[in-house]
Amino acid sequence: MAFATAANAAPPPPAPAAPTVRQQGNLRLDGVPETPPELVVRALQYSNARPLRLVDWLPDGRGLLVATRFGETSQLHHVAAPLGMRAQWTFGQEPVAFAAVRPLTGPLAGPQGDPTAEAAIGIDVGGSEFYQLFHFRRADGKLARITDGKARHESPQWSRDGKHLAFVGTGRNGKDFDLYLWTPGPDLDAPPAPKLAKELVGNWRVTDWSPDGQKVLLLHFLSIEEAEIFECTLQSGDLRPVRADKEGKKAAYGTARYGEAGAIWVTTGVDAEFQRLVRVAADGSAVAVTANIPWKVEEFDVSEDGRKVALHVNEDGWARLYVLDDKLRPVLVPGLPDGVLSGMRWRPDGKALAVSLTGASTPGDVWVVGWESDKKPPTVARWTQTETGGLPPQVFTAPKLVHYPTFDMAGGRRRQIPCFAYKPAGKGPFATVIHIHGGPEGQARPWFDPAVQFWVRELGIAVLVPNVRGSDGYGKSFLELDNGKRRQDSVADIGALIDWVATQPDLDSKRVAAYGGSYGGYMVLASLVQYGDRLKAGIDIVGISNFVTFLENTQAYRRDSRRAEYGDEREPGMREFLHQISPLTHANRIRSRLFVVQGANDPRVPQSEAEQVVRAVRAAGQPVWYMLALDEGHGFAKKSNRDALIAAVAHYWKTHLL
């Protein structure tokens, strides 16, 4: 389904006057008017909700490390006990993107925790995603960079004895992720250089170390539909494929961990519609332990002794936590609130499991499930209770899962598209924002979003969050529905949602807008081209405007995987197709109001994608709001920028939608 061609289109109006440009901190505001002070103040309450996520247990199990924000950026904090004080450990100007705690033990030093606690920490500058690894030592608070300061580095994993760190990086050629090993030296001020352990081609991640420290597991990511697991012997560099089937069929593998008795646990979609958890024994035999669960296994963790396994299943967007019993049967863990899990770690002794959970009423908290004995049911304890900007958590709006019919058939009836609906109190009819996720192989889930809560509660806007075809979480067949030259079918799912809005008495079909980031930003632009007569406005955040220029300019380490999803722009036929479906090609048809948001350091969707669509739409006579953050990348991570964005979006809705 390609873009329709408008017949006898009216000539564009004269170009509007040049917009005013002003600077607000690190934000360049081009054609963006000042937000009324009262709106800024009220929006701050929502943006002050404090997200928090689990990092790991301390090595002795007496306390957790979490990442949360008490200032401009997210930093590491220690929590010693359930609902205990969050003691801040790092104080950087840039956010801590990820961290791996070193497996060491030592005496505790009062409420601050273990003085020998150390971690490998990933930090970038200005949202560039060129993560550098730093060695952090709590005993003296020192932080030393261990990587080259230039390339991108990821997936740090400590050996079980804490003597070595494995990670991947693009230092050799800027494109391929090679395997590196690093051994800490006695002098933190002069750390030794990492050693290149294995040259690799493509996109790789380290997922685990073998218990004897001789091997690591590696994930080779090719596309959302194809990824492989290999076991790398460090001394020789040999790679052995780890497969859940004897034939070695093309399939998507998620991650891998070592279990007991030489077994390896993997998530994979081989011979299945959904990613399942599979145990691959030392002799190569495999058993899918979640074969009877018709949903995707998102993540899992294996205890240090390899005997306990916990897993998170994505059930229509909601998270369900399971543990395996002694016969490898999944047992549902009761007692956790509804929401989305995003991280789980067994305590070193294997008697407790920490999980991060976010939902309608919490920006993110850590819960711990404990097993004092095999004869007693597990206990569930909340370890953190993060702030919600002074607003009572119970006032937030929980979504309802609805399904709407789209344009094609499946199973003898109109295909149904899942959608989370957030609606204000009252009868309506309400102005409606269609909030489109990125990816495209992402998935909208019922996590906490301060902007959505503000729109619903303060502006009286209904928010619909669809998972159009191509979204993850609904099986392999659904995931593949937007591949290749079916790209515009996902845009048609938005058209079907606009049709559905017109059938709902509590929604106002004359006041509908679209909002989305990354691939969702592309979907906004494409929807404004295709359905502009039914959309009053749109907000494109770090979105693709031209697939050809996007593929040519995205960072080299991402290019091949993006070509696997969208098509190879180097092939003449595909290049022409990508040109035709790109919103920039049809920018003169965007007649709705448009707000474009971009980070200057975005390595995924470069700034040029935003600049060119802003220029083209303005050249066609339409005004555009344009916000550029000079110290951000693919989205806004710094609080001051996020505060300004939430307030400006609210002002935009009040100006052009309500």
CB 640 within 8 A of CB 25: yes
User: Look-up: residue for tokens 């080259």?
Assistant: 148
CATH number of this structure's domain 259-387: 2.130.10.120
Alpha carbon distance 278, 300 (integer Å): 11
At 213, list the tokens.
């420290």
Instruction: Please say if the pLDDT value at position 106 is more than 70.
Output: no
pLDDT tens, residue by residue, 224-257: 889 999 999 999 999 999 999 989 899 999 999 9
Q: Which pLDDT score is estimated for 117?
A: 87
Helices 450-459, 639-656: axis angle to 10 degrees equals: 40
593-599 sheet: strands from edge to edge: 21-24, 27-30, 624-629, 593-599, 537-541, 507-517, 430-436, 462-466, 413-422, 400-410
What SS3 state is found at 28?
A: strand
More confident residue, 358 or 567: 358
Confidence (pLDDT) at 114: 52
Would the pLDDT of 374 be above 80? no
Which pLDDT belongs to residue 6? 40
Check pLDDT > 50 for residue 110.
no
- Over residues 134-145, mean pLDDT: 91
pLDDT computed for residue 579 by the predictor: 97
Task: Tell whether omega for the bond before 440 is within 30 degrees of 0, i.e. cis.
Answer: yes
| pTM reported for the whole predicted model | 0.94
Predicted confidence (pLDDT) at residue 47 exceeds the cutoff of 50: yes
* Mean pLDDT of the region 545-565: 93
pLDDT digits (tens, 9 = 90+) for 269-326: 999 999 999 999 999 999 999 999 999 999 999 999 999 999 999 999 999 999 999 9
pLDDT at 108: 42
| Measured distance between the N- and C-terminal CA atoms of the chain, rounded to whole angstroms | 32
pLDDT tens digits, one per residue of 204-225 = 999 999 999 999 999 999 988 8
pLDDT for 18-45, tens place per residue?
A: 789 999 999 999 999 999 999 999 999 9
Span 179-191, average pLDDT: 90
577-634: pLDDT as tens digits? 999 999 999 999 999 999 999 999 999 999 999 999 999 999 999 999 999 999 999 9
pLDDT at 483: 86
Tens of pLDDT, residues 440-495? 889 999 999 999 999 999 999 999 999 999 999 999 999 999 988 899 999 999 99
Q: Output the pLDDT for position 116.
A: 67
Q: Give domain 397-656's CATH number out of 3.40.50.300, 1.10.10.10, 3.40.50.360, 3.40.50.1820.
A: 3.40.50.1820
Residue 526 has pLDDT above 70, yes or no: yes
**Domain spans, the chain:** 52-145, 162-242, 259-387, 397-656
For 633, list phi and psi in degrees, rounded to 5. Answer: -120, -120
Whole-number Cα distances in Å, 506 to 360, 404, 503, 513: 22, 15, 9, 16
Q: Inform me whether the pLDDT recorded for 16 exceeds 80.
A: no
Q: What is the pLDDT of residue 184?
A: 93
Q: Looking at residue 372, what is its pLDDT? A: 82
Q: What whole-number percentage of the chain has pLDDT above 90?
A: 88
**Mean pLDDT, the chain, whole residue set:** 94
Instruction: List pLDDT tens digits, range 638-648.
Output: 999 999 999 99
* DSSP helix/strand/coil, 248: coil
Q: Three-state SS across 169-226? A: ECCCCCCCCEEEEECCCCCCCCCCCCEEEECCCCEEEEEEECCCCCEEEEEEEEECCE
Distance CA 522, CA 307 (A): 45
Residue 511: band (very low, low, confident or very high) from pLDDT cuts 50, 70, 90: very high
pLDDT at 652 over 70: yes
